[in-house]
Structure 1
Amino acid sequence: MQARDRIGDRYELTYPIGRGGMGQVWAGYDERLDRPVAVKFLRQMEVPEDEREVAVKRFRREARVTARLDHPGVPVVHDLGEHGQDLYIVMQLVPGVVLADLIAEQEELPVGEVASIAAQICSVLAVAHDASLVHRDLKPQNVMITPSGVVKVLDFGVAALLGPAEASRLTATGHTLGTPAYIAPEQASGGAVGPGADLYALGCILFEMLAGKPPYEAKNAPDMLRRHMQSPVPIVTEHRSNVPDDLAHLLFCLLAKDPADRPASAAEMQQLLTPFLDERHRLGVVAIRTAEPAAPVRPPEAAFLPQRRSQPEVVEVRARARELAENERFVQAAEVLEHALRSEPDAEPLAGEIVALRLDLANLYMLAGDFRQARHAFEALARDLDQSEVEHDLAEECRQQAMVCEFELGEPSGTTERRAIH
């Protein structure tokens, strides 16, 4: 796979997001609907032949399972198909930060933020469990947090149906599904797996968010499984003294060896976490302190954007955006310009190349039909131009375009900021 490859005669790959032992995930672009997407591939030829059939069934199951979960914390599935010998799932592209990376960066997260993340995971699990699905591989690497603080739970590929269908689980002989550091004792021992296994994994994640490390550490996977089954439940306050006692007790219950000793359900667990939310997180806002929260990976256009751009480079960026817009790929064109502007946050806002990029971007928002975003962009540029007293005509043009956006939005005229004409 490489950038600009076309999949399913409508998806163009743009840049790689990640790679595993048997597949890849790419950011892509849906040419038909003018939107960014994520394309997840299963490379069948990279799967051992004796495991291929199970892997294919599991991959297809991920698409079906994720598609049936109607929840803002689950990425939307758009398509499932084949590309040569590979299978692919087209999903919502989720910007933000992987929880594992956030923990690695901060080690110990604030209690209110931890409670908010855990409560949102519980909300997803409650919907999954109500649909008779258990995730079975919940871990920080499968949790994304968007710039607005919304938690997304990824990778339902290991998910199993509860009830009678559990007898026909998609498990390769001799393999235990799940990740050792977050696996429930009953799952580690090969026993029946129910919603309690997801709650145990949540407990492991909650412990790691608070203490900066998982509840158990081991040299290898078999030893880790034994630790989950046999070692005493760790006390989080022995690793971080400022964790509230009630939260520490709740975490202790989540990590109980017997599923019957854990909270009764994900919905109940979500309620139990409520007292630990601070006022900011009660409103569903999680402060994600990252250098670049708007996108997880730089798109390929970044390759020709140094920290300080020269005029020829700006011309090249604008030309690329214009080419995309001419093909009615307005959203993708806007992303190119947005990244160009983000890559130099300390630049003078009225530098010639910055003004050109900002004006192009505002116009692209209009072409894409995002009149509210366009209005804000035109108004902001007009205000900055007013400060200089140089680009009077352009500032007035921006205000006129903002008024057009107001009319398109059906909002009363006169709300756009205007400067008195002398």
Structure 2
Amino acid sequence: MSRELKITVGQHSDKGRKETNQDFHGVLIPDEPLLSLKGIAIVLADGISSSNVSRIAAESAVKGFLTDYYCTSESWSVRTSAQRVLEATNSWLHSQTRRSQYSYDKDRGYVCTLSALVIKSTTAHLFHVGDSRIYRVSGTTLEQLTNDHRVVISSEQSYLGRALGVNSQIEIDYLMSRVEKGDTFVLVTDGIYEHVGERVIARVVKDGADDLDQAARAIVELAYELGSKDNLTVQIVRVDELPDAAAREVFGQPHELPLPPLLEARAVFDGYRIIRELHGSSRSHIYLAVDIETDAVVAIKIPSIDLRDDPAYLKRFMMEEWVARRIDSPHVLKPCPPQRKRNFLYVVTEFIDGQTLTQWMIDNPKPGLETVRGIVEQIAKGLRAFHRKEMLHQDIRPDNIMIDATGTVKIIDFGSTKITGVAEASPPGSRNDILGTQQYTAPEYFLGEQVSSRSDLFSLGVITYQMLTGKLPYGAQIARARTRSQFGKLVYAPAAHGSRDIPQWIDGTLEKAVHPNPAKRYDSLSEFLFDLRHPNANYLNTSSTPLIERNPLLFWKSTTIVLALAVILLLALQHGGHR
């Protein structure tokens, strides 16, 4: 039986010797699929003693995090989700202070510290601002995982250097750490750790393993007995079970629905009348159909007959509709919401009355530069919709781009999409297959390096080059390259040297977009699009650029030839001298 993430939590908070308790804390353990997609959140906030409203700040920060974090996009990483929430919370607290009577006295405003721990799959994500602390139990003591943002002026005077609500902008410390079964984390406010030693806390946690609530209460009582004059809060979190598979409940299990048969024209299938097959390949079968209830024309995609015994393929097939439902762009294929219960595994999308970019290039072998720009800009808009959700399409190629009768360009086929939030839920050592098409796939995939939006940019650059030249920027070379050395030897074929009239500055733009090294590509799609429309001075005159930078292989070949000729000349002169 598969395992899911499980923890045991013990926590206790007390006002101590103060009149009110300005600390606030909370834990949220969601059900699936959020457990796999978002993980478990543990949060602790400490209001500052100089403020009468910091209790409100602490409570708002904790409740806001536990509520809003789980409302962020399911495709986002933990880091992106948490930081967006904390930045919004900080802005709200700061604005509350600005509107209050304490607008010129921040120490009395809506200010608090915050330490948050999110455990997702086999990783702990820590977010921290202020002087509360997060520890991990390490043997007989504690390992401090956060840094105190407290500035010490003297032995009797110090102040918080960083806290939520102080300024309109906030810098949040972030740490990611692998967790193992049995790992125990301790979150405490300064009223605890300033009086109870780390070894003592570790011993109390170990001795109270059977009742972590009682252990937390014992630590609070000990801090009080040792003279603490502050509020006292402790949270203890022990990891009892770790998941053994990657976010399995996100898309469901492939065997939950039976696989459909190949469909025939005029057949009725799950409430749809099949008109004809639109496309069939080793990857999928796509049919034109009409919804019998609504008369809506749709496309139905069913799994490939050849790959139905491949669980990884079926999981990716199920992922396509999940991805499509989370992207809203006129340049991305739109899914059709289920009108009724499905009896088979398939995907229903809008029908695009048009042609693939592959067919468009056949019909338009020499398109104008402005036409190419218009298509590329629409593809880029679709890619931005993926990237905003922290997704990479990973298979941008002419066959996966449709152009409808109105000239609108749409990206299709999401079976290769990388979803950052889902990838985080994968267990260590999960297989990362290269799912894109070789000629359009960025080199970093083959090298096993980190991929990014620049990887999709590479594919878009290759397509742009192909539309303008009818060829590929590296020809057949890239199909044989697999090592860093081989990719480093790739020679870009200048687009401006072909039969078509392509400006030199466009060529420079394309060469940068498809550079084998992602660090030397454009930082963003917008930069690439800008240079496609506005001549970049760096590409207007390449004569000032050394040959070794423009074409390293040609430089070294030329140098070798020159040196060989020099040697031959010297040998000839030496031979003549001996006569």
**TM class by smaller structure:** 0.5 to 0.7
Aligned to 1:104: 362
The structural deviation recorded for 1:37 is 0.4
Structure 1 counterpart of 2:387, one-letter code: H
TM-score normalised by length of structure 1: 0.59
* Count of residue correspondences: 270
2:275 aligned residue (11, 14, 27): 14
Alignment of 1:244-259 (within 5 A): 244-259=503-518
1:262 aligned residue (521, 532, 535): 521
Alignment of 1:244-393 (within 5 A): 244-275=503-534
Structure 2 counterpart of 1:46, one-letter code: D
- Residues 210 and 240, structure 1, Cα contact 8 Å, conserved in 2: no
The structural deviation recorded for 1:269 is 2.8
Gaps of 5+ in 1: 277-422
TM-score normalised by length of structure 2: 0.43
> Residue 30 and residue 172 in structure 1: after superposition, are their counterparts in 2 closer, same or farther (change >3 A)?
farther
- Residues 58 and 157, structure 1, Cα contact 8 Å, conserved in 2: yes
Alignment of 1:14-53 (within 5 A): 14-43=275-304, 45-47=305-307, 49=309, 52-53=310-311
Alignment of 1:85-100 (within 5 A): 87-100=345-358
Between 1:206-215 and 1:159-168, the stretch displaced more is 159-168
Deviations 1:97-136, CA, capped at 9 Å, x for gaps = 2111121233232111111111111111111101100000
C-alpha separation in 2, matches of 1:16 and 1:152: 20
- Residues 354 and 404, structure 2, Cα contact 8 Å, conserved in 1: yes
The structural deviation recorded for 1:271 is 3.4
Structure 2 counterpart of 1:207, one-letter code: Y
Matched, 1:208 2:208: no
Residue 28 of structure 1 aligns to a residue whose secondary structure is strand
C-alpha separation in 1, matches of 2:471 and 2:345: 35
- Residues 104 and 212, structure 1, Cα contact 8 Å, conserved in 2: no
Matched, 1:233 2:492: yes
Aligned to 2:387: 129
The structural deviation recorded for 1:79 is 4.2
The structural deviation recorded for 1:267 is 3.2
The structural deviation recorded for 1:145 is 0.9
Matched, 1:77 2:338: no
Structure 1 counterpart of 2:480, one-letter code: D
Residue 336 of structure 2 aligns to a residue whose secondary structure is strand
Structure 1 counterpart of 2:456, one-letter code: D
Residue 29 of structure 1 aligns to a residue whose secondary structure is strand
Deviations 1:161-196, CA, capped at 9 Å, x for gaps = 237826839x99584211001010101222222111
Residue 463 of structure 2 aligns to a residue whose secondary structure is helix
C-alpha separation in 2, matches of 1:184 and 1:134: 12
Matched, 1:115 2:373: yes
Matched, 1:3 2:287: no
Deviations 1:116-159, CA, capped at 9 Å, x for gaps = 11111111111110110000000011111112111111111100
> Residue 48 and residue 76 in structure 1: after superposition, are their counterparts in 2 closer, same or farther (change >3 A)?
closer
> Residue 256 and residue 110 in structure 1: after superposition, are their counterparts in 2 closer, same or farther (change >3 A)?
same
Return the structure number with greater helix share: 1
- Residues 474 and 492, structure 2, Cα contact 8 Å, conserved in 1: no
Gaps of 5+ in 2: 1-262, 536-579
C-alpha separation in 2, matches of 1:229 and 1:33: 55
> Residue 211 and residue 6 in structure 1: after superposition, are their counterparts in 2 closer, same or farther (change >3 A)?
same
Matched, 1:176 2:434: yes
Matched, 1:162 2:420: yes
The structural deviation recorded for 1:246 is 2.0
- Residues 7 and 83, structure 1, Cα contact 8 Å, conserved in 2: no
Return the structure number with greater strand share: 2
Aligned to 2:568: none
